[in-house]
Copies of this chain bind each other. A is one copy, B any other.
Amino acid sequence: MEPNMSTTCVEIGMEVHKVVSPPHKSSFQKLKARLKETFFPDDPLRQFKGQPLKQKLVLGAQYVFPILQWGPNYTLKLLKSDIVSGLTIASLAIPQGISYAKLANLPPIVGLYSSFVPPLVYAVLGSSRDLAVGPVSIASLIMGSMLRQEVSPSKDPLLFLQLAFSSTFFAGLFQASLGILRLGFIIDFLSKATLIGFMAGAAIIVSLQQLKALLGITNFTKQMGLVPVLSSVFHHTNEWSWQTILMGFCFLVMLLVARHVWSWQTILMGFCFLVMLLVARHVGMRKPKLFWVSAGAPLASVILSTLLVFAFKAQHHGISVIGKLQEGLNPPSWNMLRFHGSHLGLVMKTGLITGIISLTEGIAVGRTFAALKNYQVDGNKEMIAIGMMNMVGSSTSCYVTTGAFSRSAVNHNAGAKTAVSNIIMAVTVMVTLLFLMPLFQYTPNVVLGAIIVTAVIGLIDVPAAYYIWKIDKFDFLVMLCAFFGVIFISVQEGLAIAVGLSIFKVLMQITRPKTVTLGNIPGTNIYRNLHQYKEASGVPGFLILSIEAPINFANTTYLNERILRWIEDYEAEEEEEEGNKQQSGLRFLILDLSAVSAIDTSGVSLFKDLRKILENKGLELVLVNPLGEVMEKLQRADEAHDLSRPDCLFLTVGEAVASLLSTVKGQSSSHV
């Protein structure tokens, strides 16, 4: 074979562009560049370059405390907007705070505490101008249900509260560590599809949990999950049976049958306020200018229902109320943090999961509104801000908080300009805590349930699910796994399955990379996928393949087999077409490496092995357009210069075909 090859590979006179390696860099330089791209993709120190020391210090302080950046330029006009938006979100934050605390099985007042300190911390450290900080439904749900696995909030409320604060501390520690260690990309692994499925599942669980409040049931299941909740609602056994399912559908019938267990006053009241809140939400969504309707509705419901209960003394007629709340600001709680003992594992796990979920929500919300207003939010800095906020919060009787989507949207619509709106909100909550607590004594629980249901119903995003179905069926599957996993198994496992599946998909793309045959688009030098471009046509004697993934240990075996199968298919097809069994016309296998972004030692060996196998078959292997890293490694591996000879390495497929064709012609004419 060899002598034939060497004549084939003589470099010819036509214009052919050489493939070159990128300029040499030492391993250390490469490592440095790689680490920089991994941990500092946003190049946060760029602005410090070339500045005098004093300026550097100022910039550094501004970097750590963004309030120093926008604070000096703060004007009265901005303050006006911020006061309006701050009061608006406060009117939302107070009823939601109380409701979400109940969702987490915590005393309602903890929800108000959590709407006071964290917003102040965020106003100093945070870089988003629209984020409205406070407790959120999903994180509250997760914390409540996870801690309830080991400790009963009704039997041992103090221990439960201690565990909640400790979890909050670990959540904050975890969030801040992610930011400081610049590992923020970890939350990217919760893909949009995962989150949509997860949110919808959680919303359904939360809504079902609220059946307790809405229907006035007293003995409710302690578990989270569709089956036990439904069972509990219908006073049935805890087993999953078709009867349970059927009964879910016979809701209305059962409502009448079971009336002696449920409180009809509560149902009536809950139903009325739920309808009112949903209508207000609908109005607010349809006409963004009327956002204040949906923003004000929860507070209006609370006030109205409280007045109703007070007027009719309804607390004596089967309607349960919040009861006496303690006046005064957040008491310190650092002495309640538990870093040892039997529940430490649970506390850390709860902190980790609520931390990552609330972080994901906060960062996504911040980025969404930053993109709308065309400013940048630094993900890692935000993580530190949110983490610090939770760590401070855990010492001041707050549980886990983040930037809530619904409240931030209201904040944005109400015209918030800076984080001062958070300060205004915190001050309003402070006034409430100091002076208005007795007013909540008669607030019925049913209204809080209605507020929660209204808030979480927005988390079920059917259009987004349909959009995912339309674009990517596998993403849809991931979404379904997250959804059903959360509903039927548990929050943690549902999330884990969805994330695992997403990563599995990425790995499968690597393990089974696409290889496509290219053909020439007539009248051009362009070579494209024969399957995609019907006008493209193959070049006789050439099999041109494009490999569309990095080549590494996970796919070299597959690629080897697949490429040989392409050759067999090509030869079989040719045989069929020509009828007569002449020697195969296939002379060259061209591998277009334009889409091979990286290679490892196994990948380099693949080319060497392939070359040997092809030589046995009388074929020549030609590589086209290896990218920087690939070219470099090929050269380093290639002491015999087998793969990087100029006649087997071309810059474009067009040049390779033209050059090789003319060589072949030259040979056959000299033979004649």
Interface residues of A (CB under 8 A from B): 17, 20-23, 27, 30-31, 34, 37-38, 41-43, 185, 188-194, 367, 371, 374, 376, 379, 467-468, 470-475, 502-503, 506-514, 516, 521, 524-526, 528-529, 531-534, 548-550, 552-558, 561-562, 564-565, 594-598, 600-602, 604-605, 609, 612-613, 616, 625, 627-629, 631, 633, 636-637, 651-652
CB neighbours (8 Å) of A625 from chain B are 528
Are A532's CB and B628's CB within 8 A? yes
Are B524's CB and A17's CB within 8 A? yes
Nearest opposing residue in chain B for A42, CB measure: B561
* Distance in angstroms between the alpha carbons of A523 and B556 in the assembled complex: 37
Taking the full assembly, how many copies of this chain does it contain? 2
Extra contacts, 17 of them, besides A43-B565, A190-B553, A516-B628 (Cβ < 8 A), are: A17-B521, A37-B512, A41-B512, A185-B557, A185-B558, A188-B554, A192-B602, A192-B605, A193-B600, A467-B601, A468-B601, A472-B633, A506-B554, A507-B507, A513-B597, A528-B651, A594-B594
Q: How far is the CB of A66 from chain B (nearest CB, A)?
A: 18
Nearest opposing residue in chain B for A548, CB measure: B597
* Distance in angstroms between the alpha carbons of A554 and B367 in the assembled complex: 16
Are A550's CB and B509's CB within 8 A? yes
* Distance in angstroms between the alpha carbons of A22 and B474 in the assembled complex: 19
Q: How far is the CB of A512 from chain B (nearest CB, A)?
A: 5
Are A553's CB and B473's CB within 8 A? no
CB neighbours (8 Å) of A512 from chain B are 34, 37-38, 41, 185
Are A511's CB and B374's CB within 8 A? no
CB neighbours (8 Å) of A532 from chain B are 20-22, 627-628, 631
Are B526's CB and A652's CB within 8 A? yes
* Distance in angstroms between the alpha carbons of A594 and B471 in the assembled complex: 20
Cross-chain contact of A189 among B22, B192, B554 (Cβ < 8 A) = B554
Q: How far is the CB of A74 from chain B (nearest CB, A)?
A: 24
Q: How far is the CB of A268 from chain B (nearest CB, A)?
A: 43
Are B507's CB and A371's CB within 8 A? no
* Distance in angstroms between the alpha carbons of A41 and B514 in the assembled complex: 11
Instruction: Give the top 4 A-B pairs by smallest Cβ distance, nearest first.
Output: A191-B553, A548-B597, A595-B595, A22-B532
Cross-chain contact of A609 among B31, B371, B468 (Cβ < 8 A) = B371
Interchain Cβ contacts under 8 Å between A and B, 29 examples: A17-B526, A20-B532, A34-B512, A38-B511, A41-B558, A42-B561, A42-B565, A43-B565, A185-B512, A185-B557, A188-B558, A190-B553, A191-B600, A191-B602, A192-B602, A192-B605, A193-B600, A371-B609, A374-B613, A472-B601, A472-B633, A475-B601, A506-B550, A509-B550, A514-B597, A514-B629, A526-B651, A528-B651, A549-B550
